[in-house]
Structure formats: C-alpha cells, structure tokens
Amino acid sequence: MQDPERGIRPVSPETAAEISVAPRTEHKKLRSRHVTMITLGGIIGASLFVGSGNIVRAVGPAAILSYLIGGLIVLLTMRMLGEMAAARPTVGSFMEYARVGLGEWAGYFVGWLYWYFWVGVIAFEAVVGGAILTGWFPEVPQWLFSVLLMLIFTTTNLVSARSFGEVEFWLASIKVVTIIVFLGIGTLFALGLWPNAAFSVPNLWTHGGFAPNGLWPVISGVAIVIFSYFGTEIAVMAAAESENPTKGIRQATRTVVWRILLFFVGGVLLIVTIVPWNELPKPKVEAPFAHIFGLFGLPGASVIMGAVILTAVCSVLNSGLYSAARMFSALAAQGLAPRIVARKSKAGVPFVAVLASTIGGYAAVLVNFLAPDSGIFDFIMNSAGLVALFVYAFIAVTQMRLRQKMTPEERTNLEIKMWLHPWLGILTVAGVAGIVVVMLFTDDDSRAQVWMSLISVAVLAVFWPLVRRGIKGRGAQPPGGAIDHSHPAVHDIARDEVEHLIHQ
C-alpha cells in the first residue's frame, strides 16, 4: 500500500488507507513495570560487569571520560529516537523512520545491520553463559549449556511479548539491585568509611596520572563503551508493544541521563577509585566487580557475582532475541526481507523471525565449538563491532531529515523535541565519524574492527539491487516525499494484516 499522491509507503498502513480498522484481538502487551525495568536494567550486561576491566586497563582512570563521551552520544541519539518514536510508535523503530525519511535503502541497511549485530551478540552471550555454567559443572560440555540457554530464551520469546517482559523484569531487577549495592558500599569503601577500608580517592591520579596512556586510548575506548551502551534503544522498541506506548517512550528517553551517569560512569568511577588501575586483575582472571565485592569482605562475594554475571548474560540473550526478531519481522513487513519472516502467532509474536534469528545464533555457537581456530566466530563479532555507531549515525540523519519535512505546526506539537536542532544532531554524526577515524590509527585490533564492519556493509550493498528490484516488482516506490502527519500516531501493523482485516 502506498500513498498515491506522494509515492511513499507511510509508517502506518492505517493512515495510508484512511479507514477505521476493526479492533484486533488484544495480545498480551508489556505492562508499565516491564518497560520501567527494561529501561533501568536492559543495558547492564557482562560488558559492564566484566568488560569494563579491559577499558580501565587500557585507558587508566580516564576511562571515566570514555564512558562520559560514549554516554553523551547515546543520550543525544536516544533523544532523537524519542522524538520520532513518541510521534509514531512502531516496533520497527529506527528502521521504519530511516526507510520513510531517507529511502528504502536506508531502512534496508540499518535494519539488516541491527539484526546482524544482535545475532552475533546472541551467540556471544550464549558462549559466555555456557562457559560460566561449565565452570560450575565441569562434567557438562560447554556447548551443551550454550544450546540449553538458547532453547530456554527462544521459548520465552515465542510465548508472548509479556512473557519476554516478565523474564526481563526479574533479570533486570537482579542487575539493578546489584549495582545499587555496589554503588552504596563502594562509596563508603572509597571514602574509608567501611570496615578495613582506607581513603582511596588519590588512586585517580597517583599511578601515572589520570590519563597515563594519553588521550588517544580515551577516544578509541569510546567504541568499546558504545558496545556496552548498545541496547538502550530496546526500551523504545519494547514501549511500542506496551499498554501505553507514548508514556513508555517518554520514560525511556528522559531517564537515560541518570541511568548512564549512575550505573556506568558511577560504577567505573568507583572501580578506578578503589583499586589502582594498573593493579586491577585481568577479566579472564577475575571480573572487576567480583574483585571489588571481594574487597568489601562480603561472604560468598565471588559466587554471588558469578551468579549476577550469569543473570546479566541471560538478560542480554533474552533481550537480544527480542530485538533481533522484532527488527527482522519489521524488515519482512516492508519487503526488505523474505515475507514469511513477518508471520505472527496468535499471541502476536513474530515466531518465524524469532526462530530465524536463533538459527544464526546456533550456527555461530556450533562454529565456535566445532572449529574454534577457524576465525569465523571472531569475524562475526568484529564485523558487527561498529554497527552501533552506524545505527546511531542513521538515527541522527533520519531525525534531521524528518524534522525538515515537518510543517511549523507539526514541530510545535511534538511531545519530545531534540535539543538545539539540528546542531546536536550534526555533532552526533561528527562524533561517530571521529571515533571511526581514531580507531583506524590506534592499533591493529581497532583497525580490524573498522574494516570488518565495513565488509558487512559491503555485503549488504551487493544484495541491495536484488531487494530493490523485488520492492519495485510489488509496486512500491522508494520514498520521496514527506510523511503523512495528518492522522494520530498508531501502532505499525504489517500491510498484509491490515488488508486481511479490510477484506473481512
């Protein structure tokens, strides 16, 4: 279905048809508490509990700056995404906005890159989770635990959106409570107010200075930090399937500031304050959070943190399956992926997309265990390394383009507005470009990530002419006009579903 006057396919097919669609069966949508906890704890994963140690060892206490710079980019991006999502909630989220604002090609690239990233993360988290469980039960093969975790969370995602939300609510709750305890006791410990603790704030500058390795590692560390933050946008996608989409989107975008400052920047600040940066154990030996919990003298600290890290891994695996499936389904609904992927169960779950996304995860897990020296698994992870930056750049450019197409009245009526438009959007794009350039001149690992990520983009470019031909064959044309804002925002429903309702 397309707008006959403008030759575009709007975000909402109901808007295009200008009809009153019969109410659908109400699926089990996410509740407010689900969205709240996904918003609070969705991005707290092993990349914070474990990966923060790698950044601290490479950058020193100035790792705080890496997290602040990365947090600023995420904050600006989430604000821009919030502006678009509050106006038109849709599960496809930024892929849909890129498609309508920039063209079919933009939706194709950003959607497939995002899906590819999460398939890699699903495999990575399954491998890490399997390794943790094998450490507890060495008689069981690691690959078996990885597959078992995949099966468990495939099932939770197949039941309903609320099933995903309920599981994520409890997993995220554990992570949030752990971080709050860490921040509370850690502050007392750093100030010398905890038993057997000494005032340790000077650790920020007494071991080679605040930035002992210079400023370049601070900037290159931002790319790794962005990987830790990536997933913030899941709250916006989840809000589109909630009982009150607009409220959920506002909540997700407006609380991102203190979430980043408190959980990430605050956590890393305490790490480099309590332990000298050059004395922090390597993550493979002991995770930084586990090490510091041990210093607190809490009984069973290492076992507790191991369980928390496993919880974080399961949480990311759960939300990764959700994100990958929703994006894959949205791509299929717009003809940018095989149409069968858009099929949904009676509970409203895109079950084909869920299964297809997990197949990629299973394949990567098996490759890692059957041919660990082949380099295929490392290629998958490295080639998706900069996807977060690419997606953020797409979001920024899309928001600026869509705002440009609006009338003055539409701009005035926006519920969430990007600050200092368009200058902060331009700053975001410049920041992403700057990080990529710095990575090209930092070290071999950073350069490899850049080039492998560009290879994944090149592969998509090869297939784009075929996809475009298929779109034109169905009578759709690339967008070339403005979005139709004459109707209230509604949830995006696949065009074939709407046509089915009309015919009924």
Report the phi/psi class of residue 21: left, alpha or beta, with left for phi > 0 and alpha for psi in -120 to 50.
Answer: beta
Q: What integer pLDDT is reported at residue 451 of this predicted model?
A: 87
* Residue 24, domain member (yes or no): no
Residue 461: band (very low, low, confident or very high) from pLDDT cuts 50, 70, 90: very high
| Contact between 392 and 432 (Cβ < 8 Å) | yes
Q: Which residues are registered as beta bridge partners of 242?
A: 30
pLDDT tens per residue across span 96-131: 899 989 999 999 999 999 998 888 888 888 888 888
Residue 285's pLDDT band (cuts 50, 70, 90): low
228-265 confidence digits (pLDDT tens): 888 777 877 777 777 778 777 777 777 777 888 888 99
Residue 16 domain-assigned (yes or no): no
What percent of the chain has a predicted confidence (pLDDT) above 70?
A: 84
**Exposure letters 60-89 (e unless 16+ CB within 10 A, then b):** bbbbbbbbbbbbbbbbbbbbbbbbbbbbbb
| 27: confidence class by pLDDT, cuts 50, 70, 90 | low
Q: What is the pLDDT of residue 376?
A: 62
Residue 91: inside a domain, yes or no?
A: yes
Cα 42–Cα 44–Cα 46 angle in degrees, nearest 5: 125
As a whole number of Å, the CA-based R_g of the chain is 23
Query: Please, which pLDDT band fits residue 61 given cuts at 50, 70 and 90?
Result: very high
When pLDDT is cut at 50, 70 and 90, the band that residue 476 belongs to is very low
Are 295 and 83 in contact, with CB atoms under 8 Å apart? no
Query: For the chain, what percent of residues have pLDDT higher than 90?
Result: 36
pLDDT band at 15 (very low <50, low <70, confident <90, very high): very low
What pLDDT score does 220 carry?
80
pLDDT reading at 459 higher than 60: yes
Mean pLDDT (the chain, rounded): 81
* Cα–Cα distance measured from residue 366 to residue 348, given in angstroms and rounded to the nearest whole number: 30
Confidence band of 381 (pLDDT split at 50, 70, 90)? low
Asked if residue 244 is part of any domain, the answer here is: yes
Q: What is the identity of the amino acid at 389?
A: L
| pLDDT at 346 exceeding the cut of 50 | yes
pLDDT value for 385: 65
Neighbours of 136 (CB within 10 A): 12
Parent domain of 485: 29-503
Question: Residue 85: pLDDT above 90?
Answer: no
State the pLDDT confidence band at 382, using cuts at 50, 70 and 90: low
Average pLDDT over residues 352-367: 84
3 within some domain: no
Under 8 Å CB-to-CB from 430, ≥6 apart: which residues? none
As a whole number of angstroms, the distance between CA 156 and CA 168 comes to 10
Of 220, 277, 211, nearest in space to 443 by CA:
220
pLDDT of 504 reads 34
Structural domain includes residue 259: yes
Q: Which of 177-191, 246-260, 299-313, 354-368 has the highest mean pLDDT?
A: 177-191
pLDDT per residue as tens digits for the range 310-332? 998 898 888 889 889 999 999 99
Please, which pLDDT band fits residue 375 given cuts at 50, 70 and 90? Answer: low
For residues 346-361, give the mean pLDDT. 88
Q: In the chain, how many domains are there?
A: 1
Domain contains 12: no
pLDDT of residue 246: 75
Q: What is the pLDDT of residue 94?
A: 83
Please determine, for residue 428, whether its predicted confidence score (pLDDT) is greater than 90. Answer: yes
Give a yes or no: residue 2 inside a domain. Answer: no
The pTM for the full model equals 0.82
- CATH code at position 357: 1.20.1740.10
Confidence of residue 28 (pLDDT cuts 50, 70, 90): low
pLDDT of 91: 64
